[in-house]
Amino acid sequence: MPQLNPAPWFAILFFAWMIFLIILPPKILAHKCPNDPGLRNLVVTETKFWNWPWQ
């Protein structure tokens, strides 16, 4: 039964994980976030409470 031979499947698994762990993270981390939360002006808005009779 040739499907029980782990040699080719282990190599495919190994190279796939090497792509995921070595090649892809720098490419993904190179992208910049267009909505940088640090550049936003922090304006505190004053909220008003509702005085509704609930009873």
pLDDT tens for each residue of 2-38: 566 777 888 899 999 998 899 888 888 888 777 766 6
Return d(Cα 37, Cα 33) in angstroms, integer: 9
pLDDT digits (tens, 9 = 90+) for 33-52: 777 666 566 677 787 877 77
Q: Which domain holds residue 32?
A: 1-55
Statement: the pTM of the whole predicted model exceeds 0.75: no
d(CA 8, CA 2): 10
Q: How many domains does the chain fold into?
A: 1
